[in-house]
């Protein structure tokens, strides 16, 4: 009994040690729209082959593919010598698809490209539409925008044409409407193809689309219409951003502020720049005193000397004591900020939670972000702990030796020390495990020998007990 227990303990130690000892170094990480993790998984590259890690830093799918796309709706497309394959989060292959490019699933349908044409496939690997469209968008709300001979229309999820190709441009359907451009004029159309509103100049965001008109002086003014074609915000604003988070950035008298979807003022009009709300917060900026923006600076190559900060949902600055020379929108409760030429992260209170020490960063997704410093990169969690670090592919020597870079060492020293401690513990645990298993084998062998001897004695005694009296007497005489 004790030997079985010791063997079980030894096996447990070995498995535990193996888990402690395995570490991976990644050459590259797939980024899409500046995010690392999609659907809880991140594509990573080791020695030219791609696999996936999960948000707990486990190598969930071993690196074995020449290409790997982002997960979406629990599935991803990967490429090996046999072509593009659809896999689930366990790495099981569901089907193979013959194509040149393939895109993530949306509403259970993936767009693929063969040569110059697009088609569609479902999660069972069934081709919904062969590759025959010169352009196509993802499936959304029961419809797919497709293009043929430079004109756009819509098909349904069975691949049948629902609205004939007739538009200059066509965008995704919401539940009630879609934005299209016909003969250079923006329109909202219904699912039946009927025109709901003419004079639209943007796609639909949170149920609203931007409209424009020209006043008597020739100035273009902006407002918003809902999906039913009802003007909910009159076109009285000098400029307007994208509706997001229940707010809209609008411009009045040369300054930006925010209104809600009913047109009520939601912040002061004091900003030279105002981004859409994201994650409950908006990125805003002012120019230094005495400076002003040139007309159409966005397309002139001029880079404004903005000082950035953030507003909360109430329109108040989250931290009035600090501003940044560059900044990005909030994602997963963190925003990247730029100070003295380096990037770090703040939380929603404006507190610096990850120091500005990286030369580039991604946005957070699944509470992780990619950070880079002098070619040495890492995946950090939302506390600043480096989860995985690796050398950029172009930096890695051809002989396979690790790149020496002392710049990041102070920041990963704690991680490295912890890894060394895990290594020492691993060796000690392996020694203990080996001793326990050896001891168990020795004990088991001795026990078998003892059991065999006991069995032999019992057999002899039984024979003696059952032997006839004459035989026993004869044997005793011979002994004398």
Q: What is the pLDDT of residue 456?
A: 67
**How sure is the predictor about 288, in pLDDT bands with cuts at 50, 70 and 90?**
confident
Tokens 């593009």 correspond to 84
Could you report the per-residue pLDDT of 21-76, keeping only the tens digit for each?
333 445 555 544 455 788 989 888 877 888 998 877 788 999 899 999 999 999 99
What is the distance between the alpha carbons of residues 207 and 227, in angstroms, rounded to a whole number?
6
pLDDT, mean of residues 110-119: 97
- Residue 20 tokens, joined: 């402690």
The answer on pLDDT for 427 being more than 50 is yes
Residue 472 lies in a domain: yes
Q: In this predicted model, what pLDDT tens digit does every residue of 75-97 receive, in sequence order?
A: 999 999 999 999 999 999 999 99
Q: Considering the domain boundaries, does residue 143 fall inside one?
A: no
The residue-averaged pLDDT of 123-150 equals 96
The 10 Å Cβ neighbour count of residue 461 is: 10
- Rounded to 5 degrees, φ, ψ at 20 are -70, -35
Q: Give the strand order in the sheet containing 220-226.
A: 200-205, 208-214, 220-226, 231-237
The share of the chain scoring above pLDDT 70, in percent, equals: 75
pLDDT reported for residue 464:
52
Q: How confident is the model at residue 175 (pLDDT cuts 50, 70, 90)?
A: confident
Lowest-pLDDT choice from 57-71, 325-339, 374-388? 374-388
What is residue 37's predicted lDDT score, i.e. its pLDDT?
A: 85
- Domain assignment of residue 445, yes or no: yes
pLDDT at position 20 is: 37
pLDDT tier at 378 (50, 70, 90 boundaries)?
A: confident
3-state secondary structure 75-88: EEEEEECCEEEEEE
- Mean pLDDT score, 446-458: 73
pLDDT (mean) for 280-284: 96
Q: How many domains does the chain have?
A: 1
Please compute the mean of the pLDDT values over residues 182-205 and round it to a whole number.
Answer: 95
400 in any annotated domain: no
Least confidently predicted of 171-175, 359-363, 459-463: 459-463
State residue 146's pLDDT score: 97
Mean pLDDT of the chain: 82
Residues whose CB is less than 8 angstroms from the CB of residue 239 and which lie 6 or more positions away in sequence, other chains included: 222, 250, 251, 256
Give the whole-angstrom CA distance, residue 411 versus residue 226: 50
What local confidence, expressed as pLDDT, does residue 455 receive? 72
pLDDT at 442 over 80: no
Least confident of 50-59, 330-339, 381-390, 398-407: 398-407
How far is residue 217's CA from residue 237's CA, in Å, rounded to a whole number? 14
- Domain assignment present for residue 451? The answer is yes
Choose the weakest-confidence range: 350-364, 392-406, 436-450.
392-406
**Is 476 part of a structural domain of the chain?**
yes
Q: Give residue 4's pLDDT band: very low, low, confident or very high (50, 70, 90).
A: low
pLDDT at 205 over 90: yes
Residue 36: what pLDDT? 77
pLDDT of residue 59: 83
Q: State both tokens at 309.
A: 């900060």
Q: pLDDT class for 407, splitting at 50, 70, 90?
A: very low
Give the rounded distance of the alpha carbon of 444 from its chain centre.
52
Higher pLDDT: 391 or 7? It is 7
Q: Give the pLDDT score at 28.
A: 55
Task: Establish if 336 belongs to a structural domain.
Answer: no
Q: Give the pLDDT of residue 414.
A: 41
CB atoms within 10 A of CB 17: 20
Average confidence (pLDDT) over 5-25: 44
Looking at per-residue pLDDT, the higher value among 318 and 480 belongs to 318
Which of 61-70, 201-210, 468-477 is least confident?
468-477
Mean pLDDT on 140-152: 96
Q: How does residue 16 score in pLDDT terms, banded at 50, 70 and 90? A: very low
Distance CA 5, CA 135 (A): 65
**What pLDDT shows up at residue 393?**
38
291: pLDDT confidence band, cut at 50, 70 and 90?
confident
Angle, CA 102 vertex, CA 100 and CA 106 arms, to 5°: 165
What's the pLDDT tens digit per position in 215-273?
Answer: 889 999 999 999 999 999 999 999 999 999 999 999 999 999 999 999 999 999 999 99
In a domain, 10, yes or no: yes
Residues spanned by the domain of 456: 1-22+421-480
Reported pTM: 0.73
Check whether 134 has a pLDDT greater than 60.
yes
């Amino acid at each position: 009994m004790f030997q079985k227990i010791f063997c079980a303990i030894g096996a447990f130690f070995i498995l535990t040690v193996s888990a402690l000892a395995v570490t991976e170094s990644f050459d590259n990480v797939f980024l899409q729209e500046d995010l690392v993790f999609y659907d809880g998984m991140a594509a990573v590259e080791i020695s030219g082959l791609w696999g996936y890690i999960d948000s707990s830093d486990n190598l969930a799918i071993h690196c074995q593919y020449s290409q790997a796309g982002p997960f979406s709706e629990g599935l991803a497309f990967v490429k090996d010598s046999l072509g593009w394959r659809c896999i689930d989060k366990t790495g099981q292959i569901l089907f193979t698809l013959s194509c040149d490019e393939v895109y993530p699933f949306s509403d259970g349908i993936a767009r693929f490209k063969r040569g110059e044409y697009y088609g569609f496939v479902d999660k069972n690997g069934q081709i919904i539409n062969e590759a025959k469209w010169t352009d196509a968008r993802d499936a959304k709300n029961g419809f797919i925008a497709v293009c043929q001979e430079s004109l756009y229309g819509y098909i349904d999820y069975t691949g049948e044409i629902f609205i004939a190709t007739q538009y200059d441009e066509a965008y995704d359907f919401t539940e009630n409407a879609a934005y299209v451009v016909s003969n250079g004029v923006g329109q909202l159309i219904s699912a039946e193809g009927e025109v709901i509103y003419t004079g639209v100049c943007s796609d639909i965001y949170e149920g609203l689309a931007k409209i424009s008109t020209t006043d008597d002086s020739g100035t273009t003014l902006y407002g918003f219409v809902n999906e039913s074609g009802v003007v909910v915000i009159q076109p009285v604003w000098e400029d307007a951003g994208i509706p997001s988070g229940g707010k809209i950035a609008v411009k009045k008298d040369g300054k930006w502020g925010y209104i809600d979807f009913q047109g009520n003022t939601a912040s002061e009009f004091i900003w030279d720049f105002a981004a859409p709300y994201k994650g409950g917060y908006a990125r805003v900026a002012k120019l230094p005193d005495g400076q002003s923006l040139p007309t159409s600076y966005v397309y002139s190559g001029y880079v404004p000397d903005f000082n950035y900060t953030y507003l909360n949902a109430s329109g108040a600055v989250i931290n009035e004591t600090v501003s940044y020379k560059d900044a990005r929108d909030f994602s997963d409760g963190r925003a990247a900020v730029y100070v003295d030429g380096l990037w770090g992260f703040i939380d929603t209170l404006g507190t610096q939670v990850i120091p500005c020490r990286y030369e580039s960063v991604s946005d957070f997704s699944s509470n992780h972000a990619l950070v880079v410093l002098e070619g040495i990169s890492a995946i950090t969690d939302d506390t600043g702990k480096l989860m995985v670090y690796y050398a950029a592919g172009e930096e890695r020597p051809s002989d396979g030796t690790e790149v020496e870079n002392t710049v990041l060492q102070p920041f990963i020293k704690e991680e490295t020390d912890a890894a060394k401690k895990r290594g020492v513990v691993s060796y000690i645990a392996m020694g203990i495990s080996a001793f326990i298993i050896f001891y168990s084998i020795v004990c088991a062998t001795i026990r078998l020998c003892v059991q065999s001897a006991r069995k032999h004695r019992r057999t002899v005694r039984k024979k003696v007990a059952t032997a006839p009296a004459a035989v026993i007497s004869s044997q005793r005489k011979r002994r004398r």
